[in-house]
Amino acid sequence: MTNKLSVGYFVNWGIYDRKFPPSALQVDTLTHILYAFANISPDGSVILSDKWADIEIHYPDDSWDEDQSSNLYGCFKQLYLLKKANRHLKVLLSIGGWSYSPALHPIVVDPHKRATFVETAVTLLEDLGLDGLDVDYEYPQDDEQAQGYVALLCELRLALDAHAQKKGTDYHFALTLFPSGKDYAGSWDSVAGHHSILESGSYDYRALPLPGAVTQIDSDRMPCWSYDPDTKEMITYDNEETAAAKGQWIQDQGLGGAMFWELSGDKCPSQPDRSEMECGPGKDAAPGPSLVQVVADAMGGIFKGTGEESEGWNWL
């Protein structure tokens, strides 16, 4: 039985222009979904960043006859339904991210605000029926903030353990830290380089290579890029070959698995057009496999549970 994890970010703003609701997720290729992002109030409280998308929007089959004040709707209900149908799947709330991380600077250095952060984060986890928390702090600016970040994670871990004890011996809530291999090159460089995947204007993998571009692979360092000589546009990204090499490297190094930012950018061979998603120049889907699936296969498969899962319990 393989034990590799396949972790991907689902972004709540993806339901708008991108038209990527939770139902579009290829959950058979994933073990964990990180829901991005929760925000942080000045007092340290962890809050939902878009309540309409997160807990209010009604999707098909959602009833309007129920008590709207006490029932959960929105993306979190849809993810709960996915978990119910796929007992191996876990959903975690990711807090921070690039846009909201500056709010963490004064929080992590203040013990009282850290305590508020911990208490409200655990409350959200309980209220939304989640399996854990992901703290995406980009980035501590000095030693004091770095030490405060460590203190926050320690305090949050203790609170999650205490919360799990209230649930019973079979419960464990995850607090995740995923090393992120990105931004090795970007707009700050004078020479084009690989791995500027989060730069403004970057393309989704699902749209690459662009028409007219020729794809090449550096066999020494294993990046892939496409280049259009007419537009003089170079785009560096992972394709099927480089993704498979990374998956094999994960297997060879005995690592726990892979993480992907973010899932609406992947290709979906079962729905190659996905006509409901945004389209246009640089957005139209190009043929090819799902990178998440390619990496999962190269890692030797992903962990789908112990076979003992039930309606009331599943693995973490």
Residue 197: per-residue pLDDT:
39
Residue 285: per-residue pLDDT:
81
What are the beta bridge partners of residue 281? Answer: none
SS3 9: strand
Is pLDDT above 80 for 67? no
Q: pLDDT for 90-140, tens place per residue?
A: 999 999 999 999 999 999 999 999 999 999 999 999 999 999 999 999 999
Element (H, E) at 154: helix 143-167
Could you give all domains of the chain from N- to C-terminal order, each with its CATH number? 1-182+238-316 (3.20.20.80)
- Give me the active site residues, please: 138
Share the mean pLDDT of the chain. 86
Q: How confident is the model at residue 282 (pLDDT cuts 50, 70, 90)?
A: confident
- Which amino acid is residue 269, in one-letter code? P
Looking at the chain, the number of H-run helices and the number of E-run strands are 8, 10
Q: How confident is the model at residue 206 (pLDDT cuts 50, 70, 90)?
A: confident
Q: Give the residue with greater pLDDT, 144 vs 305.
A: 144
C-alpha span between 188 and 196 (Å, rounded): 10
Q: Quick one: CA torsion of 309, 91, 182, 16, rounded to 10 degrees?
A: 140
Cβ partners under 8 Å of residue 70, min gap 6: none
In this structure, of 92-96, 196-200, 207-211, 292-296, the range with the lowest mean pLDDT score is 196-200
Beta carbons of 242 and 223 less than 8 angstroms apart: yes
C-alpha span between 83 and 63 (Å, rounded): 20
**Beta strand residue intervals within 41-180, DSSP E:** 46-48, 90-96, 132-136, 174-176
Q: pLDDT for 222-266, tens place per residue?
A: 678 888 889 888 888 888 998 998 899 999 999 999 999 999 999
Say which DSSP state 55 is in. I
